[in-house]
Structures are given as C-alpha cells and as structure tokens.
Amino acid sequence: MNSNEEKEAEYWFSYPPAKKPQLMNPIVLAYIGDAIYEVAIRQYLISQPNQRPHHLHRQATQYVSAKAQCKFLGLWMPLLTEEEQDVVRQGRNAKSGSVPKNADVLEYRHATAFECLVGFLYYNKQMDRLQYLIGLAIEQFQQENPKT
C-alpha cells in the first residue's frame, strides 16, 4: 500500500473529499460532521445495555439536537486550538438558508459550528481529537442526565 492509499484508508470509506478541508465550504463540513457525529452517538448508545429501538432513537435525539450541540460546543470552546476556533467561527457565520422549526437561530448557528468542527476533524484525520471531544460531550450529557 503506498502512502496515498494509507491516508485514504483512514477515512471510513474510500471517498476522500474533492478539496482540502481548509478550502471546503463550512456548510459542507457541517453536512459530513452531522453524519459522523450521529454515527458516533449511535455507536455509543448501542454499546450500552438498553438497546430497545425506541429507547435508542429517543436517546440519540437528545444528543444530536441543536440545543445539545450548542451546549457541547460551549464545553469545547476553552479546549480548542486557534485553528479549531477559526473553523467554529466559520461554521457559526456560514449562511445555510434555513433554520429548523425546533431550534432558535443562535442555537442552530452554534450547532452548525459544532458539526463543522466535527467534519473538519474527520476530514483532517484527527480521529483521536474527534473521539476525545465527543467523549467529553457524552460525559457531560451523562452527568446532567444520570437516569437516561
């Protein structure tokens, strides 16, 4: 395997992005970040003992809501590098064209920034960093919701 194949093998699938993450539209990074974060949360929930489908779905929506992502981003901010803070700023300021019915504009922008950072870390193959930050979010959620 040559070095390019080794790098590409680090993605979940062999479809690397067409552009470097630093050159990608923040909304595009948020698009992949949303999916990556959702899979991480689902994998975490499936690792827990209660695996009834309805329970899994209800739990997952609590982790992936705009409100939760906004809160988790607040937890992460003091820990972010300057480059990561720039990505968050770009994601927060990006214009997506719509806001979901169940989130206010500020929460939605912060959730987009959260997802943008997740996508950026994924496409930069910073998996340890990504796992660390998502682990912090899970820990915070568990501390605030001990019965769930």
Positions marked active-site: 34
CA 62 to chain centre: 14
| DSSP tag of 147 | T
CA 42 to chain centre: 12
Going by C-alpha positions, the residue among 144, 140, 139, 133 that lies closest to residue 88 is 133
Distance CA 99, CA 42 (A): 24
Look up residue 84 and give its two tokens.
Answer: 């990561």
- Work out whether the CA dihedral 98, 102, 108, 114 comes out positive or negative: negative
| Helix, coil or strand: residue 23 | helix
